Amino acid sequence: MAAFESGNGELGELRRLLSESQRIVAFTGAGISTESGIPDFRSPGGIWSRIKPITFQEFMASEEARLEDWRRRFEMNRVYGDARPNIAHLALAHLVAEGRSPGVVTQNIDGLHVRGGLAPERLVELHGNATRAHCLACRRHYELDAIEDRIAAEGRAPRCEDCGGFIKSAIVSFGEQMPEDEMRRAFELAEECDLMLVLGSSLQVQPAASVPLVAKRAGARLVILNREATPLDEVSELALQGEIGATLAGVFPQLIGEHH
């Protein structure tokens, strides 16, 4: 897909909105990662329309489901590991480093924001992080590599060494409660920003999708870059459909070709 055909007018408008803003908060979804080669699980034709996701309840109830969940995690982590942050990830890290953005809220679990240079404490991961694991009971952290070795050696889903609870990758599964701290931080960022920049989210998954709406209601401007139209396009200052990286390359030409 080409960048925006009506091009310069809209790009100029995007530049103006960004340059006029001092507290930019980005809200990112799968569309920013697909441009790094990561499949979008939830989209039509995505992995979850072909392979049924393992719900939190199934994970808790069945050893077979736990082992299958781990197999998928290790496989996906190799996909994440091979992917590279793109210019959109770099642009957001750049805005934070410049002091023009207090943070980024993401629905993604792939770790690409931090690999793109974003300070981890500035990132709110609403759906968790697939590159980490923790005990569901006591929240002790575990390294994924060590878990993979344990499963290979023992053939069983691993239990916590401290409390015996189930260890699970640190993502929010279907049917699992949204993390309270992250939700609170996301809404705080939404309320304090003067511009909310939605990148690659169709704003369909609740409650996460209400974050941009909270920003809008608190007086922030709203800019949406996504492949498809979203339900909030009509209340946004600017909504562009197309490739995110190609668009942001026009705004941040100094970041083109930078890789971490």
Q: Does 162 bind Zn ion (CB under 5 A)?
A: yes
Q: Quick check: is 260 catalytic?
A: no
Q: Does 53 bind Zn ion (CB under 5 A)?
A: no
AA identity, residue 255: L
In what order do the strands lie in the sheet containing 24-28?
123-125, 103-106, 24-28, 195-199, 221-226, 238-241
> What is the distance of C-alpha 200 from the center of its chain?
9
Q: Does 161 bind Zn ion (CB under 5 A)?
A: no
Considering only the stretches 57-65, 132-140, 179-187, 217-225, report the one whose residues sit in contact with Zn ion under the rule CB under 5 A: 132-140
Q: Does 135 bind Zn ion (CB under 5 A)?
A: yes
Smallest gap from residue 161 Cβ to Zn ion (A): 8
In what order do the strands lie in the sheet containing 167-171?
141-142, 128-135, 167-171
- Residue whose CB is less far from Zn ion, 65 or 160: 160
Q: Pick one of 67, 137, 205, 251: the residue that binds Zn ion (CB under 5 A).
A: 137
Which one is catalytic: 94, 113, 127, 134?
A: 127
Maximum pairwise Cα distance, the chain:
60
> What is the distance of C-alpha 69 from the center of its chain?
20
Smallest gap from residue 160 Cβ to Zn ion (A): 3
- Which x/- pattern over 91-130 shows residues binding Zn ion (rule: CB under 5 A)? ----------------------------------------
Considering only the stretches 95-103, 155-163, 217-225, 247-255, report the one whose residues sit in contact with Zn ion under the rule CB under 5 A: 155-163
Give ∠ CA 81-83-89 in degrees, rounded to 5: 115
HEC sequence for 15-63 = HHHHHCCCCEEEEECHHHHHCCCCCCCCCCCCHHHHCCCCCHHHHHHCH
Q: Which residues are catalytic?
A: 127
Residues making contact with Zn ion (CB under 5 A): 135, 137-138, 140, 160, 162-163, 165
